[in-house]
Structure 1
């Protein structure tokens, strides 16, 4: 692995880009691919409802709290080196998941997957920024962004196909073990190809801030998931009561570190920007749909008794919409300006309401009609894909360029945190409504309630986004009048 001269164009940059892109594809793929496998995992390992939630939320939660630190590790020690370190760790964690002998081992593997994914993923984006000249950078970043849409298309379907094929009698384990040959190919082609890059002025690690964030997140998510199943014992209430205390200590620590000239995980100065707190709240509401993929898979396989292959393929209209949404964002901005984000979230809300209405009007245990179901899923995916680029622009555009990298990391972490919280909270509501029943009618009713909860979150986000868009439009109008 050689070093890149920042003042010269890298002749093999597109070959390097392909290797980085394949590596960057693995973390989002492993978020989507696991949802369709959970009923199969429950059948073999005997996972409880809370364990199923932890399989999703542990990955998203540890990804969220490690992501900013992962980016700084690359700045300090070399992005290529940390990319391959994260990739090897991710492959090892995938092997642990694939050979898991108990729910605890599987959850432990998912925790390690989240941590190593957070080390690997930022290096891919930072390396792409470093190896391309300005004239090619937009094209490369656009293709990089499309990876996440592609993962949503392929993830659910690939999960269903791999489990249905049952290669070497692997069943659900194949969805994790498939990462091993992919990682090996990336290593074989990438090590001689990827050039080393570092930040000229790297920010130091904030291990104290990361520790406080892990504690605060654990105090919140563990009782929300485990408390219901355990009958809400005293420790669950104590943990929830201590969550704001841990969050306050985290914030005090970050402020103190910033005042002393350190490099806090989240610099408090960014919250001095008007509307920043509301913008991050919008990001939390935006990804509340993360739990939908888990619960829809349970509904398809447990209430409708669909095969795992069909359950995976049913998600394709959502993925197609999610791929097309970002392609429509530039056109949407020309027509609707800052209102593209609320339009996208509004489409998601309407799609979810139509989805819920479809289930209400369909008899229990009977699959909804394919055409309206596909249309609802496409609208949900298109709305999310349309809104996501604008959401990033809304938040990153509020800070000075010097803080753009930090706030991009904060936004990415917030979106992952939103997934973890939605699985804990809305997933908890689903299982609370379901209770001890497992008949198709009970599962359908619980799923409808959960879908309506997600729709409420997105509707609230759309309303908040309209408020932010109005302020943005007013500020733009004022700046033009003063010019």
Structure 2
């Protein structure tokens, strides 16, 4: 079946599925919980350190254990959805995520907490790809813009509310649980969504192909060799082992691609179908996504600036991010209208606005005087522009990447995109974050921290410019007119 025929067939199926928006809402819960649990735990770290007497290394593992596992298994989670059904894999991931949240919430020591966070990351890796994949599976073409907008709004809401919600829950000491509530709050949400998910029927493959176990192992190894040193290396001063792991990553990646190509030639079902790289503009789209998420380090370094340079409390610092959260939530909801007005220029325009917000914030930080109300207003406006620009660009960028992908590849493409965003975030923390800490110094003072933030913001702006140029190239007619390999039959 050609791409055009399959898209038309998919649209007819979607039009007769009266529960498609309810299914999508269920899947979006996983999309919301995953980044929420990344941001919300940052506020709880001081309380965890006090109760357990945790070392800085323990606290780093609480964050990196989740992030690493999540990034490493996203492609596997996406492909499992293609093979066994997106609903089934989502529910399995949600159940695992809830169980891991319970382990974290009742952890008696930091070691158990770290283990729980690792299992949380695995559950999230199974959940999250199913949300983006479902957009290509259950919606007609005319509905995909709204679905992508809701997907982007969910990510924006999670990023914007995570630190604020964490600060509120920890400070309120709900039921006397202290920091543990930031994990246990997942349980009632997961219970409701699991019940809804079980009541809603979902399509599954009656004869699923055999899972490429060796491909899963090689994929996980390759990504672990990249993500682990990026996350842990900077924190530990780039020891020799971190550099050796990065050098070994291309070797593991080459073995992985060879294995997948061989399995495809033999008529099997590889974890990663090499033909996906033939999609028109796909590699360019991933490059754009890689530089687009360079803002990943921003949340870390700006939080440090607010608390260490300006002396704001964790709750006050969390509230400073509110304009960003509002912008990143509202913009995706308005993205269908932006798409009608700007067309293919939507993503570059959004990234341009985000870049202006970053540069404006750098100017505010450079000239900051805490006794001038105008500075507060300009800071809030800059943060809103960053969030609104990102929220405008993300749905359009995702649409450009997945727009011509047939349903058989939806989970795989979703896993690849989400993995790219996570690797980009890790790269940003390692490079931009490393630049920030190098300039701030070992015993940073307010002026040094402020200068370090300004330089880091300028570096982030440069990355966003590259992302904008890549999105412009991505929408060129020469890419759109190329024959797409999705017209080939997928095993």
Deviation at residue 374 of structure 1 after TM alignment: 0.9
* 2:436 equivalent in structure 1: 430
* Cα distance change of structure 1 residues 118 and 112 upon mapping to structure 2, 3 Å threshold: same
Q: Distance in 2 between matches of 1:21 and 1:255?
A: 33
Q: Is the 8 Å Cα contact of residues 219 and 240 (structure 1) preserved in structure 2?
A: yes
Cα distance per residue 1:91-150 (max 9 Å; x no partner): 122233334455554443332212101223344566787777899787666545532233
Q: Helix, strand or coil: the match of 2:339?
A: helix
Q: Helix, strand or coil: the match of 1:306?
A: coil
Q: Is the 8 Å Cα contact of residues 220 and 240 (structure 1) preserved in structure 2?
A: yes
* Cα distance change of structure 1 residues 394 and 478 upon mapping to structure 2, 3 Å threshold: closer
Q: Distance in 1 between matches of 2:133 and 2:467?
A: 30
* 1:160 equivalent in structure 2: 167
* Cα distance change of structure 1 residues 476 and 248 upon mapping to structure 2, 3 Å threshold: closer
Q: Distance in 2 between matches of 1:10 and 1:332?
A: 27
Cα distance per residue 1:240-291 (max 9 Å; x no partner): 2212222222222222222222222222212234543222111111112122
Q: Distance in 2 between matches of 1:97 and 1:230?
A: 25
| 2:101 is equivalent to residue 91 of structure 1 | no
TM-score by length of 1: 0.83
| 2:227 is equivalent to residue 218 of structure 1 | no
* Cα distance change of structure 1 residues 283 and 61 upon mapping to structure 2, 3 Å threshold: farther
* 1:113 equivalent in structure 2: 120
* 1:282 equivalent in structure 2: 288
* 2:184 equivalent in structure 1: 177
Q: Is the 8 Å Cα contact of residues 271 and 277 (structure 1) preserved in structure 2?
A: yes
Q: Is the 8 Å Cα contact of residues 258 and 264 (structure 1) preserved in structure 2?
A: yes
| 2:322 is equivalent to residue 322 of structure 1 | no
- Aligned match for 1:312, one of 297, 318, 338: 318
- Aligned match for 1:237, one of 234, 243, 247: 243
| 2:263 is equivalent to residue 253 of structure 1 | no
Q: Distance in 1 between matches of 2:364 and 2:31?
A: 36
Q: Distance in 2 between matches of 1:335 and 1:294?
A: 35
- Aligned match for 2:33, one of 13, 26, 43: 26
Aligned pairs for 1:48-447 within 5 A: 54-100=61-107, 104-123=111-130, 143-188=150-195, 190-191=197-198, 193-199=199-205, 202-362=208-368, 369-397=375-403, 403-447=409-453
Unmatched segments (≥5 aa) in structure 1: 1-5
Cα distance per residue 1:14-46 (max 9 Å; x no partner): 666554444443223223323444455556556
Unmatched segments (≥5 aa) in structure 2: 1-12, 484-491
Q: Is the 8 Å Cα contact of residues 23 and 124 (structure 1) preserved in structure 2?
A: yes
Q: Distance in 1 between matches of 2:389 and 2:151?
A: 20
Question: Which has the higher mean CA deviation after the structures are superposed, 27-36 or 9-18?
Answer: 9-18
Q: Helix, strand or coil: the match of 1:198?
A: coil
Q: Distance in 2 between matches of 1:389 and 1:69?
A: 23
Deviation at residue 52 of structure 1 after TM alignment: 5.4
Q: Distance in 2 between matches of 1:268 and 1:284?
A: 20
* Cα distance change of structure 1 residues 461 and 126 upon mapping to structure 2, 3 Å threshold: closer
* 1:451 equivalent in structure 2: 457
Equivalent residues, number: 471
* Cα distance change of structure 1 residues 330 and 52 upon mapping to structure 2, 3 Å threshold: same
Deviation at residue 382 of structure 1 after TM alignment: 0.8
Q: Helix, strand or coil: the match of 2:73?
A: helix
Q: Distance in 1 between matches of 2:139 and 2:264?
A: 33
- Aligned match for 1:465, one of 460, 463, 471: 471
* 1:3 equivalent in structure 2: none
Q: Is the 8 Å Cα contact of residues 82 and 412 (structure 2) preserved in structure 1?
A: no
* Cα distance change of structure 1 residues 139 and 247 upon mapping to structure 2, 3 Å threshold: closer
